[in-house]
């Protein structure tokens, strides 16, 4: 029997999808890539394959799961299997450099960024940037890995020489323009089946001293799937349609279609200069339950419906 195969390495980020698939009575199987094997002379099972591989896999002890996933996708695609968020999506998930270059090629503005290998190169790039304030982040990131805000070269050098400095998984550190917003929020647009589903505004006014453009990625406190303390208002609010820049949304949809990405969250911020900067594409997107309950819109349910329809096409063919 054909199934939906969910490829992942983090049970905590998958349980919400499992529940929705079960609610819709969609047959599925989990492929957890903490370890595994591929019979290169064998044939994959019938069904569709949905990747939820994360750039932060190495923080959970799964350093080489993304590389193994890439080989797995190659095997699946060799046999004509439908892989949702396959090779192209994974490539962008694992490299902000590739993200920014792809966005730039598509005419989408990103913050000015240098990619650096080596401590001396990090400092030199910060000097070349010539900005009073700048940030660092990891190229292979997720969860805000390596994100720090600096107001001087001396502070950067002190950080690089301190125990607080984190070596990136791929060795590449980004030096990036600090985009300061006139109002303390960023926006994350969610896409399912390549189509816009909703946009969520993330409040960065409290407890966030690094980069507003990465509020959704800084640890559990700012993670969309994290629990909000009962005595605090939600940091996440789904925007009404009239508050969404649909010209930008259509540009994002075209970009995702070009890169064969079906499910994604794209984050952007408007700077004091009035320009909109896009700074992250997350192809392993999660959703905030409190914001969704308030708006009556449910991302994982929509993903499950999308997977159900894709599976039907396989069964019919």
- Specify which residues 199 forms β-bridges with: 189
Asked if residue 177 lies in contact with residue 131, where contact means CB atoms within 8 angstroms, the answer is yes
Q: What SS3 class is residue 20?
A: helix
pLDDT(181) > 60: yes
Instruction: State the chain's mean pLDDT as an integer.
Output: 90
236 CB contacts (<8 Å, ≥6 apart)? 200, 201, 202, 203, 224, 288, 290, 291
pLDDT in tens, 48-61: 999 999 999 999 99
pLDDT(222) > 50: no
Q: Which CATH number fits domain 181-296: 2.60.40.420, 3.30.1700.10, 3.40.50.2000, 3.30.470.20?
A: 3.30.470.20
- The architecture that CATH gives domain 3-84 is 3-Layer(aba) Sandwich (3.40)
What's the maximum distance between 2 C-alpha atoms anywhere in the chain? Answer: 63
Q: What pLDDT band is residue 141 in, cutting at 50, 70 and 90?
A: confident
Domain coordinates in residue numbering, the chain: 3-84, 113-177, 181-296
Instruction: Choose among 108, 104, 8, 208: nearest CA to 216.
Output: 208
The torsion region of residue 61 among left (phi > 0), alpha (psi -120 to 50) and beta comes to left
Q: What pLDDT band is residue 145 in, cutting at 50, 70 and 90?
A: confident
pLDDT(214) > 60: no
pLDDT in tens, 264-311: 999 999 999 999 999 999 999 889 989 999 999 999 999 999 999 999
Average pLDDT value for residue range 94-103 = 97
Average pLDDT value for residue range 235-239 = 92
- Positive or negative CA dihedral for 270, 276, 278, 284? positive
| Residue 302, token pair as written in the block | 């929509």
Instruction: Choose among 269, 314, 316, 315: nearest CA to 81.
Output: 314
Confidence (pLDDT) at 216:
36
Q: Quote the strand ranges of the chain, DSSP E.
A: 3-8, 28-32, 47-51, 82-84, 113-117, 134-138, 148-150, 172-177, 185-192, 195-203, 236-238, 264-270, 276-282
Q: Which fold has domain 113-177?
A: Dna Ligase; domain 1 (3.30.1490)
Give me the phi and psi of 12, to 5 degrees please: -60, -35
């Amino acid at each position: 029997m054909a199934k939906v195969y969910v490829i992942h390495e983090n049970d905590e980020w998958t349980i919400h999808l499992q529940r929705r698939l079960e609610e819709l009575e969609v047959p599925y199987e989990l492929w957890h890539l903490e370890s595994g094997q591929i019979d290169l002379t064998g044939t994959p099972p019938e069904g569709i394959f949905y990747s939820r591989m994360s750039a932060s896999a190495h923080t959970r002890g799964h350093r080489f799961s993304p590389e193994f996933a890439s080989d797995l996708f190659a095997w699946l695609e060799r046999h004509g299997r439908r892989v949702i968020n396959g090779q192209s999506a994974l490539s962008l998930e694992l490299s902000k450099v590739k993200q920014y270059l792809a966005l730039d090629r598509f005419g989408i503005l990103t913050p000015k960024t240098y990619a650096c290998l080596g401590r001396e190169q990090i400092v030199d790039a910060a000097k070349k940037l010539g900005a009073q304030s700048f940030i660092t982040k990891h190229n292979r990131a997720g969860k805000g890995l390596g994100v720090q805000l600096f107001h001087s070269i001396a502070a950067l050098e002190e950080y690089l020489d301190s125990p607080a400095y984190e070596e990136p998984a791929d060795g590449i550190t980004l030096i990036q323009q600090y985009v300061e917003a006139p109002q303390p929020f960023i926006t994350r647009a969610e896409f399912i089946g390549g189509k816009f589903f909703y946009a969520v505004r993330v409040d960065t006014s409290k407890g966030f001293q690094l980069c507003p453009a990465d509020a959704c990625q800084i640890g559990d406190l700012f993670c969309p799937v994290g629990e909000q303390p009962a005595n605090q208002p939600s940091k996440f609010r789904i925007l009404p349609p009239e508050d969404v820049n649909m010209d930008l949304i259509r540009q994002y949809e075209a970009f995702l279609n070009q890169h064969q990405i079906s499910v994604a969250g794209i984050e952007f911020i408007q700077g004091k200069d009035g320009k909109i900067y896009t700074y992250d594409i997350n192809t392993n997107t999660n959703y905030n339950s409190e914001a969704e309950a308030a708006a009556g819109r449910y991302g994982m349910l929509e993903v499950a419906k999308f997977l159900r329809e894709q599976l039907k096409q396989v069964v019919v063919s």
